[in-house]
Structure 1
Amino acid sequence: MTKARDIMTGGAQCIGAEETVLDAARKMKDLGVGALPICGTDNKLKGVLTDRDVVVKVLGAGKDPASCPAGDLAQGEAVTIGADDDAEEILRTMTAHKVRRLPVIDGHDLVGMVALADVARSLPDPKVGDLVQALSTD
């Protein structure tokens, strides 16, 4: 069975919780990604910041991205997947939490990110349809 480490994009980089949303946006641009894990000063994962969060929760809300800490956008406990979890578990986790990207951890270390497209390439067609439907409805 395909494992998260087989389909993830490795080398994920965090944005510090104390860094600004503007810093995060620049880092996303430089890395060519649409999401960054948010890490606290204790190196623990606090959440995931997406490009949509930047637009809707910061710019759309009239906040200044240069003064808004990325950590302010971390909500609740971070949803992650283990590096040795299989594609079915990734599917269940994404569906249950209605997320399109998951940080991949090995022990307590961030080792990569797995996105909906990664999972879609590794699952049979009917399961992909189920995942897309689950993530596309409220």
Structure 2
Amino acid sequence: MADFVRDVMTAGVVAVRPDASLVEAAQLMRAQDIGDVLVADGQRIVGMLTDRDIAVRAVAEGADPLTVSAESVCTPDPVTVAPRDPVAAAVALMRQHAIRRLPVVEDGLPVGVVSLGDLAEAQDPESALADISRAAPDG
């Protein structure tokens, strides 16, 4: 069983500028086969943008995804963890804040993301969530 966030996180960061359009962010998510990107101004994390944010906070409201910025729809100032933090701390933060993903930050720089799927694969590899997390995407 993994003890630290670094043991379960998905390393690497995919980010967009705060002024990137939602179309740009969605195309990056599709190309990388991911459901979230960090919104970053240089090395500083401004927010986290998910595919659900785009759908619920913009498209469902009738906003034009070509003109709406990532920063205007993202969750600002996301809760973060460090690679050396215990996995239990990440789980507690996810529960406390009712979130599915946490950016992993080391020395002020984003280095990865830990998701519920990452935790499921590490903690309970036979669970349905772990199976879903490992599955290849549709289409």
Fold match, TM over 0.5?
yes
Report the AA paired with residue 58 of structure 2.
Answer: V
Other-structure match for 1:4? 5
How big is the shift at 1:74? 3.0
Is the 2:5–2:87 contact (alpha carbons within 8 Å) kept by the matching residues of 1?
A: yes
The SS at the match of 1:28 is: helix
How big is the shift at 1:75? 3.7
Gap runs ≥5 in structure 1: 126-138
Q: How many percent of aligned residue pairs carry the same amino acid? A: 29
Gap runs ≥5 in structure 2: 126-139
The SS at the match of 2:48 is: strand
For each residue in 1:42-101, what CA deviation from the matched residue of structure 2 results, as whole angstroms up to 9, or x when unmatched? 421111101011111111000011110101123442211111111100011101111001
Is the 1:38–1:47 contact (alpha carbons within 8 Å) kept by the matching residues of 2?
A: yes
Structure 1 residue 106 corresponds to structure 2 residue 138: no
Other-structure match for 1:117? 117
TM-score normalised by L of structure 1 = 0.83
**Paired residues, what number?**
124
How big is the shift at 1:119? 1.3
Is the 1:90–1:119 contact (alpha carbons within 8 Å) kept by the matching residues of 2?
A: no
Aligned pairs (5 A) from 1:1-138: 2-40=3-41, 42-123=42-123
For 2:124 and 2:59, the matched residues in 1 are separated by 39
How much is the aligned-residue C-alpha RMSD, in angstroms?
A: 1.6
Report the AA paired with residue 38 of structure 2.
Answer: P
Report the AA paired with residue 32 of structure 1.
Answer: D
For 2:122 and 2:12, the matched residues in 1 are separated by 20
TM-score normalised by L of structure 2 = 0.83
